[in-house]
């Protein structure tokens, strides 16, 4: 069965600093992968999705970017964080009924 | 704009009662419908998904789908305090595609 790993679990970063969040998937090959963000008290917003290596689609114009350097690796990045980038970042894959990783809680201060 | 609507709640039910959670969606092309449970500070856990009109049962949970009315619901029988969480409804257009989420309904089960 599929397992989605995310790290770190929590992160506190100053405004203007860079960001790199990693998602790796085990138990499947070439899955579609998704990055969602959940702001405090809000629903999940799709940020990026990827159907394969090097293939990235952006859903919302923003301060973030994504990359897929390997089949089972999906990375979310920013060059300069904003306060509004704070939130709970979740990686997901539709394999096995659309499951999520454990998430990274980012606080920008 | 494709939308998924849920009552934010909180919905409060006594222990042992049936909790009924509702969701409507705007895109008639939606094909798959998902229910997630999310405890505070945790990632969403998949409860069940449904593709076809009618009911689908899994233990204490029953999902009901009515595509003509663009409506999907989740029933939780014999509700327990441990069921207290936010329940998220999500839909997608095609298998493996992106999900569109509702805002979630907060459920509180009182002992």
The pLDDT assigned to A41 comes to: 75
User: Per-residue pLDDT for B96 more than 70?
Assistant: no
Identify from B25, B33, B43, B86 which residue to disrupt to test chain A contact, counting A C-beta atoms within 10 A and taking the largest count: B43
Mean pLDDT of chain B: 93
Q: What is the pLDDT of residues B60-91, one digit of tens each?
A: 999 999 999 999 999 999 999 999 999 999 99
Q: Would you state the pLDDT for residue A61?
A: 67
Contact A83, A17 (CB under 8 A): no
The reply to whether residue A100 touches residue B99, judged by beta carbons under 8 angstroms, is no
d(CA B54, CA B44): 24
Of the candidates A3, A6, A27, A29, which has an alpha carbon nearest to the alpha carbon of residue A75?
A: A6
Cβ pair A103:B97 closer than 8 A: no
Provide mean pLDDT across the span A3-14.
94
Question: pLDDT (tens digit, 9 = 90+) per residue, A49-103?
Answer: 999 998 999 888 678 999 999 999 999 999 999 999 999 999 999 887 789 999 9
What does DSSP assign to residue B16? T
- DSSP per residue, A35-70: EEEE-TT--EEEEEEEEETTEEEESS-SS-EEEEEE
Residue pair A4/B45 in contact (Cβ under 8 Å)? The answer is no
Write out the residues of chain A at the interface with chain B, using a CB-CB cutoff of 8 A: 32, 34, 36, 42-46, 49, 59, 88, 90, 92, 94, 97-103, 105
CA dist., res. A48 & res. A60, Å (int): 8
């Amino acid at each position: 069965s599929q397992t989605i790993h995310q790290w770190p679990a929590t992160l506190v970063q100053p405004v203007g600093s860079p960001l790199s969040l990693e998602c790796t998937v085990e138990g499947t090959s070439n899955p579609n992968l998704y990055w969602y963000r959940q702001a405090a008290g809000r629903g999940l917003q799709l940020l990026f999705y990827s159907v394969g290596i090097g293939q990235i689609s952006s859903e919302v114009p923003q301060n973030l970017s994504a990359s897929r350097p390997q089949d089972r690796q999906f990375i979310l990045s920013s060059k300069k964080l904003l306060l509004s980038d704070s939130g709970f970042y979740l990686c997901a894959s539709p394999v096995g009924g659309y499951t999520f990783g454990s998430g990274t809680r980012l606080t920008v201060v | 704009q494709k939308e998924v609507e849920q009552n934010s709640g909180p919905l409060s039910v006594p222990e042992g009662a049936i909790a009924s959670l509702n969701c409507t969606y705007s895109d008639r092309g939606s094909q798959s419908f998902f229910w997630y449970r999310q405890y505070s500070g945790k990632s969403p856990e998949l409860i069940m998904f449904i593709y076809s009109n009618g009911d689908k049962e899994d233990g204490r949970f029953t999902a009901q789908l009515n595509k003509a009315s663009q409506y999907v619901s989740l029933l939780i029988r014999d509700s327990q305090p441990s069921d207290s969480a936010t329940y998220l409804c999500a839909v997608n257009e095609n298998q493996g595609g992106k999900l569109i989420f509702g805002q979630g309904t907060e459920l509180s089960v009182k002992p």
